[in-house]
Structure 1
Amino acid sequence: MNKNKKLWLIYGMLFFATATWGSAFLAGKVAVKDFEPATVAFLRFLGAAILLFPLMWLMEKNRKKPTLKDYGLFAVLGLTGIAIYNICFFMATKHAPVIKSSLFIASNPVLIVLLSGLFLKETITKNHMIGMVIALTGVTFIITDGHLLSLFQYGFETIDFVLLGAVISWALYSVVGKVVLKKYSAVESTTYAVAFGTIFLFPFAYVETSWHDVQTASVSTWIAISHMSIFVTVVSFIMYYYGIKEVGAAKASIFINVMPLSAVLMATFFLGETFTLAQGIGAAFVLTGVYIGTNTKLFRRKLQAA
């Protein structure tokens, strides 16, 4: 496979992964009807861990034995991207307005790009910045349905600390993940991160959930949790980590803007919500921003042609 074809395959995987994450908004809303946020997160990643370990043993025959330092990095990944992020995410799903929570999550690429430049010394190009601004503009259009002034309707609330925690923890997860991927594959990194995250989540789930809650949970809740375990976690996390390894955390993070777009489309399809003109304009902005942000030679070509 030539370099260009491989690159487009990686971009396709990142697009699929982040689009699948959009379904977590819908699945999360279903699951938190029967369980508290930390329990939903624990059950999601417990299911993922049960699937990931056999997958890792099957796919990675020549696995490296992690050192104590490696386990420390895996623990950081589990604490940030699995435990803290998901507790914050499901709390926001339950208590925060969709406009506010979606916009906070959509700001992730900005922080990831800044941290990648600061700690990983990744080059932050003009394309990164322009693409990110255009995509974030599109996300704002989608979330507010074109009514940009609605952003100012919400004052500062306690839940904002939770949302800020989600953004910071995911940015740290992406940046530390890039360090881990220098030594371990996407499957290994995801498996160990999920394992540590599940361990960190267990005490919260144990305290807030009874065996009666587990027995009386609806079928739709278990389907939602299974979907998040298999597709949103196992499949998508591996694809996202592989993308970070191949193109860098800064460039991969631009695709996070696809998540709210997919959430809106899924809500239209599955919940019967209306897809508006403003959302269509926002979708065009998101796709344009992702294209510009990942096509590093775009402006160089134009300058050469001029």
Structure 2
Amino acid sequence: MTARGWFLFSLMGVVWGIPYLLIKVAVEDLSPSVVVFTRCALGALLLLPFALRQGGLLRTVRAHWAPMLAFACIEIIGPWFTLTDAERHLSSSTAGLLIAGVPIVGVLAARLFGDAEVLGVRRITGLALGLAGVGVLTLPHLTGGDARSLAEVFLTVVGYATAPLIAARRLKDVPTLQLIVPCLTLSALVYAPAAAASRPASLPSATVLACLAALGVVCTAVAFVAFLELIKEVGPTRSTVITYVNPAIAVAAGAVFLDESLTATILAAFALILTGSVLATAAGPKRDATGLERVAEAAETEAVGSKRDAVGPEGR
């Protein structure tokens, strides 16, 4: 990975590790619709002037509206609401750890999209370990009335794992800002009616307002620009490996700022999910290209010889 890639990777590991804490604080006083709307609206307003300055924004939307709509629905409109709603009942640590399963689902999604790379024993083992970690983390919640919240986080994971594939395959030539601004704007419009209907009767506390501002500015505007640049730099599957770092940030933030406990179950799940994700996204076995290269070289030599015979000495 290049120095630029490592910088983007490190930045994303932090800025998408803290939203779980910020969301947990915000949903104590606000509805999920208000949180998602504010986050999207702030991000769109901040990035819109820069997108307009590039020029061609409307032309880009007309040319790529279908994959952009799919990306907005799968990356933002659906996952941000389900994650925010789930954190009304789950701790920020639990949500962050479950999101760490994104690389595992990303491997499976890539194969469904036509990736023919052989998984191998190591990657299959990684998938099994990751799923075991998710099981360790979720089983205690299944009997506590949190099954819906767990399902919402699972939907979020699927969206986060699938959207980068769409961005890499169908939107790789679209400038980052001209992709993010329409998607955030559409998302804000979708949630505007529900946010208006569930708006608080009084102004939220300064802490909640600060969390909303951080979600919109840092975790949305800055983070999305960095994330799409990371996809272009290292590819869709490797870009999801930022979730190796995110859960550590989420667990640490939850423990420090929200007094969330670090139980043996959480630590065991963290170890299993992290190890499984690393193994599941490791490079697949390389093909032995020596024989293929020899065949290609022989074919090229034969083709050159045939051309020379056909043209003759005068043709040089």
1:158: which partner in 2?
Answer: 148
> Deviation at 1:156?
7.2
SS at match of 2:173: coil
TM-score under structure 2 normalisation? 0.73
| 1:73 correspondence with 2:60 | no
Displaced runs of 4 or more, over 6 A: 274-295
| 1:226 correspondence with 2:213 | yes
Give the greater-gyration-radius structure (CA): 2
Conserved in 2, the CA contact under 8 Å of 1:38 and 1:86? no
TM-score under structure 1 normalisation? 0.76
Conserved in 2, the CA contact under 8 Å of 1:113 and 1:253? no
Unaligned runs of 5+ in 1: 301-306
Change (3 A) 1:289 1:164: closer
Match of 1:268 among 242, 249, 255: 255
Conserved in 2, the CA contact under 8 Å of 1:128 and 1:251? no
Q: What aligned pairs does 1:190-201 form with structure 2 within 5 A after superposition? A: 190-201=180-191
1:36: which partner in 2?
Answer: 31
CA distance in 2 between partners of 1:197 and 1:241 (Å) = 18
CA distance in 1 between partners of 2:182 and 2:237 (Å) = 23
SS at match of 1:49: helix
| 1:236 correspondence with 2:231 | no
2:42: which partner in 1?
Answer: 47
SS at match of 1:184: coil
| 1:172 correspondence with 2:167 | no
1:56: which partner in 2?
Answer: 51
| 1:87 correspondence with 2:81 | yes
Change (3 A) 1:14 1:122: farther
1:96: which partner in 2?
Answer: 90
Q: What aligned pairs does 1:18-29 form with structure 2 within 5 A after superposition? A: 18-29=13-24
> Deviation at 1:275?
6.2
Q: What aligned pairs does 1:115-130 form with structure 2 within 5 A after superposition? A: 115-119=109-113, 121=115, 123=117, 126=120, 129=123
Residue identity in the other structure for 2:180: T
Unaligned runs of 5+ in 2: 287-316
Change (3 A) 1:53 1:120: farther
Conserved in 2, the CA contact under 8 Å of 1:131 and 1:291? no
CA distance in 2 between partners of 1:122 and 1:228 (Å) = 37
CA distance in 2 between partners of 1:23 and 1:100 (Å) = 13
> Deviation at 1:23?
0.9
2:242: which partner in 1?
Answer: 255
